[in-house]
Amino acid sequence: MPRPALRTAHATTLLSFALPVGVGVMFLLGWHAAVRISGSDLFPTPVEVGRGLLELARQGLLLKYVVASLFRVSWGFALAVAVGVPAGLLLGWYSRGFQAFNPMIQIFRPISPIAWIPVAILWFGVTDAAPIFLIFLASVFPITVSSIAAVQNMQPVYLRAAQNFGLSRGELFRQVILRASLPQIITGIRIALGVAWLVVVAAEMIAVNSGLGYLIIDARNAGKRYDLVVAGMVMIGVIGLVLDLLVRQLEKFDEVRWGYARR
């Protein structure tokens, strides 16, 4: 096809923007029509949700709840990274350690963080520590497991090359094992952040009285304000998207870009 490359590239960019926006608009229109046709007086239309968001923003609750949720996720997640990455690197490297701890990890891993909520309340009460603990539990396993796999799947040629250059143990760990594992560790971190964000909402519904999860359950209980319920859901979705986009930026560094599919 003898089409000028510049125009094609331009059209592609425009299309990649127009397509998702088009789908979004269709979705909102369909939602609006469905509420009107069904005649529901509880479930809100998109416009009512927008008004609800404005109301929350004006009261200062929106920012307060978003900050509260992000605060809990940041702490639980940071703890999970601080524990999971070193633990994963060590267990990936020392096969005896892996043999010893892996069965225990595999037993704890499938237990949903939601199942831990009663235990968290028992241990930490209705404080920030309860959701932070739950977020830590939810994200530490994906991070640990992907860090273990990252070390175990490292191409042996990098290790042999490094040994050839006479690296000390510490240098080998820092300059080769960590660097070779980083792309897969970042993928694990991305998955874990998604899980952490899912869990904070669930935890806030039960264990505390602030945050987006609390907003949803409170709006329903105190007067069936479904416009605010859906407003909370929209905020959760949007912030989840932003968090994922932020972590994706990590994958663009030259130091790790080699580890992802060729683009």
Partner 1 sequence: MMEPGNVQRSTPNVQRSNAEGASSLDVGRWTLDVERSSERAAIFIRDVSLTFPGKRLGDEIAVLDHVSARVAKGEFVCLVGPSGCGKSTLLNIVGGFLTASSGEVLVEGQPVHGPDPRRIFVFQENGVFPWLNVRDNVGFGLRGKSKEEREKTIAHYIAMVGLTGFEDAYPRELSGGMRQRVEIARALAANPDIIYMDEPFGALDFITRLKMRADLVRIWQAEKKTILFVTHDIEEAVQLADRVLIMSKRPATIQQVVEIDLARPRDLDSPRYLEKRDEIFRIMGMSLRVGETLSV
Residues at the interface with partner 1 (CB under 8 A): 155, 157-158, 160-161, 163-166, 171, 176, 179-180, 182, 254-259, 262
147 vs 144: CA distance, rounded Å: 5
Minimum distance of partner 1 from residue 164's CB (angstroms): 4
CB 134 within 8 A of CB 76: yes
What does the block give as tokens for 241? 């998207």
Nearer CB in complex with partner 1: 162/217: 162
| Least distance (Å) between residue 94 CB and partner 1 | 17
Q: Which is nearer to partner 1, 179 or 220 (CB)?
A: 179
Residue with smaller CB distance to partner 1, 27 or 258: 258
Selection from 166, 184, 172 nearest residue 260 by Cα = 184
Residue among 172 and 234 whose Cβ is closer to partner 1: 172
CB of 186 to partner 1, least distance (A): 12
Specify whether the CB–CB gap between 177 and 254 falls below 8 A.
no
Q: Are residues 153 and 184 in contact, defined by beta-carbon separation less than 8 angstroms?
A: yes
User: % helix / strand / coil in the chain, to the nearest 5?
Assistant: 85, 0, 15
CB of 183 to partner 1, least distance (A): 9
**Is 58 or 262 the residue whose CB approaches partner 1 more closely?**
262
Rounded to the nearest whole angstrom, what is the least distance from the CB of residue 260 to partner 1 in the complex? 10
DSSP 63: H
